Amino acid sequence: MRKIVLTIAAAIGGLLCVPAEADPWGSAKSYGSFVHFEEIPDALFLTGEINDGDYFQLRKAMREDEISIIVAASPGGSVFEALQIAGVIHDTGMSTYVPKQHDFLCASACAFVFFAGGKRLVGGELGVHQFYGAEGSALDKAGGAVASIVTQYTTGEIIAFLNDFKTPPEVYAKMFSTTDMYWFDATEKAELALGEDDPLFVAQTVLIDSLVDVLVATMPKKQPPQLLATEDPVSAKPNPEPAAPPTAAPEEKGFKITYDADLFGNDIMAKGVRDVSLSRCQELCAESTACAAYTYIPETRWCWPKFAVGSMSFKSDAVTGIKYGEGALPALPVDTGFLEYTSKDIAGFDLLPGGLPSTSLQDCRLYCTARSDCAAFTWVRDKQWCWPKSFVGPASDRLGMITGVKP
């Protein structure tokens, strides 16, 4: 036991003594929404939105490294994909952990991933909300691609999954009682923990927290980024002294720059990097091999590094840069079949009175595509809620939402 403790102490010391010029991001490997760092080879970080295909990416990472713990730091995403990932975690006996510092959170579908851990601990924030899946619900009546999720995973089956994960009954009450996000308090998070008396598991979480500190500290060259507090992005207020939008394109330096454009989702950091300049945002992306692109919001000085180039949507005054290598063209954005607008909401004209809860952005697109009477959709990121529209009415500004209109 003494030898184990000394080994752990040495590992933590090594992380804390990483020189300022070191770049742990340089050796990072991306597997869909997962990121692997050589500094802790048995840990895999789940970041950004849970997307279709992440289950297979997890399997790929497991073939290349012996993963024993999942760092759950995702705002949610596809319920179907999250349950498949959770099943693998449970069946292989992996642990799960939500880091305690830098406002890390695990919410919505990410909660399934967390509860699957044989040993689990919440240091940051954990949130759940209601999802529909029972027979006769809005999703059940919807048909098409969205209903296929309900067909395979009814409410009873999902509860069976959570029962296998030793999920306390109180969680179900929180999950079913509100359509808003319910954030567990400190006492509740302590009651959800498993294996906190295992010194090796606790040591793993200490190592992860140390690496997270290093990752955040080494992203900028001069000073660590100021991350947002755990506030709802919809209610986040702009910087009291916003910077004026740029009037000229920054030097490209390996980036294809597009104005009035946003790459929605695929965020490396769940809350981005706040209070930085456009040039610094581009530098952060250029310095990290895990970064494929960025979107910068001049009004709030908010930088969103991206691990992949997804769909491009219109957002007034936003600046998007897509990285490309020497002699290579930048990646092309995905064609979703919609004209999409970030931070826009169409009020009313809903095809379904209750919308489609617990629905990923891609499933929202597929549902609207499959219905001839669907003219547009508005998707709410934090609640994973899809609102198919029968008519393209007036749009209002709403952070945390994206609206797609059929061309």
Largest CA distance in the chain: 68
Token couple for 359: 């629905």
Say how many CA atoms lie within 13 Å of 130 toward its Cβ: 15
Rounded Cα gap, residues 286 and 294, in angstroms: 10
Instruction: Please name each of the domains of the chain with its CATH number.
Output: 2-129+181-218 (3.90.226), 233-323 (3.50.4.10)
Hey, what are 276's tokens? 């930085």
Beta-sheet strand order (sheet of 105-107): 105-107, 125-128, 182-183
Contacts of 46 (CB under 8 A, 6+ apart): 33, 34, 70, 71, 72, 73, 74, 85, 110, 113
Hey, how many other C-beta atoms are within 10 angstroms of the C-beta on 323?
22
pTM for the predicted model, two decimal places: 0.52
Take residue 109 and report the two structure tokens written for it: 């579908």
Give 160's contacts (C-beta < 8 A, 6+ positions apart): none
For residue 248, give every residue at least 6 positions away whose Cβ sits within 8 Å of its Cβ, in sequence order, or none: none
What letters, b where the CB count within 10 A reaches 16 and e where it falls short, cover 79-110? bbbbbbbbbbbbeeebbbbbbbebbbbbbbbb
**Average pLDDT per 10 consecutive residues for the chain, totaling 407 residues:** 41 44 75 90 89 89 94 85 92 94 82 94 87 45 52 61 85 76 89 91 91 74 31 34 43 80 85 89 88 91 89 89 77 84 88 88 91 93 90 84 91
Q: What is the pLDDT of residue 81?
A: 87
